[in-house]
Chain A
Amino acid sequence: DAKTTQPNSMESNEEEPVHLPCNHSTISGTDYIHWYRQLPSQGPEYVIHGLTSNVNNRMASLAIAEDRKSSTLILHRATLRDAAVYYCILRDEWGGADGLTFGKGTHLIIQP
């Protein structure tokens, strides 16, 4: 899996939007962009993924740059429960049995 770069930590206030950036300048044409998060003392949890177009689901939105060299995970209205480590991971189309390659992720701190 190609490499991603994320800020070590970010801080935001409760009930405000949060934009978590990810750079992946070596992304290949078939790599999907996946986001996972890990809440304290829990296993990683799938958030969202996309290929080229922006994606929305009940948890978040994913904005993908036109050249696909970067993406942004958007939490529209952060709550204290969103405090977690967020991981941006690239998977090729047939990701399959090689598992997920986790980096250090971004530690998101939510202030009340």
Chain B
Amino acid sequence: DTAVSQTPKYLVTQMGNDKSIKCEQNLGHDTMYWYKQDSKKFLKIMFSYNNKELIINETVPNRFSPKSPDKAHLNLHINSLELGDSAVYFCASSRKGARNTEAFFGQGTRLTVV
């Protein structure tokens, strides 16, 4: 059983399109995250979501929006895709406020905008 799973693994799309990446965790965690890893391999937090509380990294464009239908899912929706959005996107989950805040990551979604 995969703890944190993302779909699709690869996504190639044209500029201006709208796309979504899905994420599901089966660990019973109450906090989920989206990270972006750019071409220089630098990993950066985009969002964290906990019990309907959304914390946004201020550098993330508002074309990016997380959607959480329930505690086990946090999908990433991207509007009007741009070339610079090409990156690998990782979903993660953890427990909030616990001493052992080990985070589990998905395998990533490689987004290529052409």
Q: Is the CB of A42 within 8 A of B108?
A: yes
In the complex, what residue of chain B is closest to A89 when comparing beta carbons?
B103
In the complex, what residue of chain B is closest to A99 when comparing beta carbons?
B45
Q: Considering the chains assembled together, what is the distance between the CA atoms of A85 and B81 in angstroms?
A: 29
Q: Considering the chains assembled together, what is the distance between the CA atoms of A95 and B48 in angstroms?
A: 12
Q: Residues of B contacting A104 with CB < 8 Å? A: 42
Identify A98's interface contact among B44, B45, B105, CB under 8 A.
B45
Q: Residues of A contacting B35 with CB < 8 Å? A: 99, 102
Q: Is the CB of B41 within 8 A of A46?
A: no
Question: Binding site of B, secondary structure by majority: helix, strand, loop or mixed?
Answer: strand
Chain B interface size range: 20 to 34
Query: Total A-B residue pairs with C-beta atoms closer than 8 Å?
Result: 64
Q: Is the CB of A46 within 8 A of B48?
A: no
Q: Residues of A contacting B44 with CB < 8 Å? A: 102
Q: Say if the beta carbon of B69 comes within 8 Å of chain A.
A: no
Q: Residues of B contacting A98 with CB < 8 Å? A: 45, 48, 55
Binding site for B on A (CB under 8 A): 32, 34, 36, 38, 41-46, 49, 85, 87, 91, 93-102, 104
User: 12 other contacts beyond A99-B33, A99-B103, with CB at 8 A cut-off?
Assistant: A41-B108, A43-B105, A43-B107, A43-B108, A44-B90, A49-B100, A91-B101, A96-B97, A97-B31, A97-B49, A99-B45, A100-B103
Binding site for A on B (CB under 8 A): 4, 31, 33, 35, 41-45, 48-50, 53, 55, 90, 92, 96-97, 99-108
